Amino acid sequence: RMQSSRSKPCSCPSLKLREVASMYFTMVAAFLVILVVALQGSVPRESDFPYKVPLDPQGLLELSWNVSYPEQAVHFQLLVRELRFGLLFGMSDRGEFENADLAVLWSDGHNSYFGDAWSDAKGQLHLDSQQDYQLLGARRAPEGLYLLFRRPFSTCDPKDYLIEDGTVHLIYGILEKPVHSLQAINISALHGGLQRVQLLKPNISIPELPSDMKTMEITAPDVVIPSQETTYWCYVAELPAGFPKHHIIMYEPVVTAGNEALVHHMEVFQCAAEFDSFPHYNGPCDSKMKPDRLNYCRHVLAAWAMGAQAFYYPEEAGLAFGGPGSSRYLRLEIHYHNPLVFKGRRDSSGIRLYYTATLRPYDAGIMELGLVYTPVMAIPPGEDNFILTGYCTDKCTQLALPAAGIRIFASQLHTHLAGRKVVTVLSRDGRERQVVNADGHYSPHFQEIRMLKEVVAVFPGDELITTCTYNTEDRSRATVGGFGILEEMCVNYVHYYPQTQLELCKSAVDPGYLHRYFNLVNRFNDEEICMCPQVSVPQQFYSIPWNTFNRDVLKSLYAFAPISVHCNKSSAVRFPGEWEKQPLPSITERLPEPVPHCPPAPGPQPAVPVPLKLGELRRD
């Protein structure tokens, strides 16, 4: 109540004085910034910015950053290796240059300026009335120009991007010509692009590592990266014969120097134990030469994506590999992103596993949550945010989890190309208790195993509800669930301990109720949809005329119809019990929406760009 009374307009003379003082201090601060910028300053230590990612495929722009949770701010260091006439750096919902939140450095050839800007729906730039990208310094070094600036997570400025957990789409653009003002910058003529990162890394203390720790590198054998934009490369490695059971306790990327901008993500999978041997394949994953048996190498041991650091297991758990009942064969998969189509680049990147023979108290396990891979779950075409939900029910956790529960410490979200958001929520007694993992700007092109900020305890009788949001505006026919890249998935692979027999806890709509939906659509529409049993579910979906009635009824069906629950052991066998036509879990109490924390307003700051003393900028 005090706060609201304080914000009422007040005619006290002291306010005028406060305004004058505030403007004076703002001018002093601006002068100090210019002074800092003009100085060559000491080099910030690399440890000050632990996270690093190349922004562009040539590696001319390199971003480093750190996260301060007490300050609720991110500090950025941008290294510009070849400065022309300035650059744009910023964030937007999905990497577009329209409706973006930007920090801009520009020059007219003589004077340089830095400012916080935004772009409108047409891509026109405007200086922001609230300057929230705060310049901390600029420094020339032999390798290029360093720009240091900070930005609060949340600014409560409607023109600004809210930095939150999950994926952030960073955008960049290089100014090739001098410009006389910010408004004169033409976004469509820029040399620019986007890079996805998880900006808000969890602040995790690194567990103590044992003295008998060993390392093993699973790396590509000096591969020539194909001269095309996208390649998935597969390589089969083998553990030594008689390799006993060990625990993987951490892993990190090994990226060949010079290829940092090309190696997009990497995964190591263990092959299925039921086969004695696997062919030693080394080649593109989509090649006709790839042996079919490699499709049985799907058990994830490690996954890394650009910008990610080392992954640590909690000190009481490790991921078991080796020993009886475990395959000696591993498959490395590397996604090369080569948009500039470099030829003849050689690569030996991969993942370094750190493991110990001194087993920790618990084996870690991986459990699949979300939707079963089935065409009964479908998304109509032309939808901008269609929601599908998969349930791990109380009945399944009651049966399969130990009384002391399990602890989820990491999560990897997964959809195909139409996925836009994914969230898993823990619910107990019908009340949502905790978000397990959420990504409101999810991209299928950026999937990494993320350590959670806090471990989530799940007990028998709890429910884990995974919701995916899809966009099919660019599609002309229904998108069904399935394994194909143009089909869809909604999965959260959660990493937890102690390992249980439960490997998969997912759901899909009851097929009988879907059949009733097709019957209803048939009765309401002039066009005949063949309901004959020989017509597959995808064919029936493809023949539906997608008017608003058929769309809305499908949404209602998914929100109300009973479900088929897959409560499966690792052998793909269901736990004993009745799993068909199960009621949808009912939620009586939702978690409140998080309220953005607004930093205290520093007083009326003049919306003026900060001049920089960078000397004259010229074309090379």
| Averaged confidence pLDDT in the chain | 89
Cα-only R_g, the chain = 27
- pLDDT for the residue numbered 540: 93
Catalytic residues: 232, 414
Is residue 336 a contact partner of residue 226, using CB atoms and an 8 Å limit? yes
DSSP-derived secondary structure letter, 163? -
Quick check: 2 pLDDT over 50?
no
- pLDDT for the residue numbered 275: 93
Count CB atoms within 10 A of the CB of residue 288.
5
Quick check: 227 pLDDT over 60?
yes
Any idea which of 33-37, 171-175, 511-515, 529-533 has the lowest mean pLDDT?
33-37
C-alpha 423/C-alpha 440 separation (Å) is 8
Quick check: 32 pLDDT over 70?
no
- pLDDT for the residue numbered 425: 98
Can you list the domains of the chain with their CATH numbers? 51-199 (2.60.40.1210), 208-360 (2.60.120.310), 366-510+564-593 (2.60.120.230)
In which band, very low, low, confident or very high, does the pLDDT at 601 lie, cut at 50, 70 and 90? low
Give the DSSP letter string of 281-328: -EEETT-TTS-GGGGG--EEEEEEETT---EE--TTEEEEESSTTS-S
Quick check: 46 pLDDT over 50?
yes
In which band, very low, low, confident or very high, does the pLDDT at 106 lie, cut at 50, 70 and 90? very high
The SS3 of residue 230 is strand
In which band, very low, low, confident or very high, does the pLDDT at 598 lie, cut at 50, 70 and 90? confident
In which band, very low, low, confident or very high, does the pLDDT at 446 lie, cut at 50, 70 and 90? confident
The pTM of this model reads 0.85
Chain segment 281-319, per-residue pLDDT in tens? 999 998 999 999 998 998 888 988 877 778 999 999 999
Residue with the larger pLDDT of the pair 603 and 459:
459
Chain segment 231-269, per-residue pLDDT in tens? 999 999 999 999 999 999 999 999 999 998 899 889 999
C-alpha 148/C-alpha 77 separation (Å) is 5
Mean pLDDT calculated for residue range 109-130: 94
- pLDDT for the residue numbered 198: 94
Q: What are phi and psi of 15, to 5 degrees?
A: -65, -45
In which band, very low, low, confident or very high, does the pLDDT at 473 lie, cut at 50, 70 and 90? very high
Please name the residue ranges forming H helices in 466-611: 511-524, 537-542, 548-560
- pLDDT for the residue numbered 44: 53
- pLDDT for the residue numbered 463: 98
C-alpha 345/C-alpha 349 separation (Å) is 12
Q: Which residue, among 363, 374, 296, has the nearest Cα to 329 in the 3D structure?
A: 296
- pLDDT for the residue numbered 467: 98
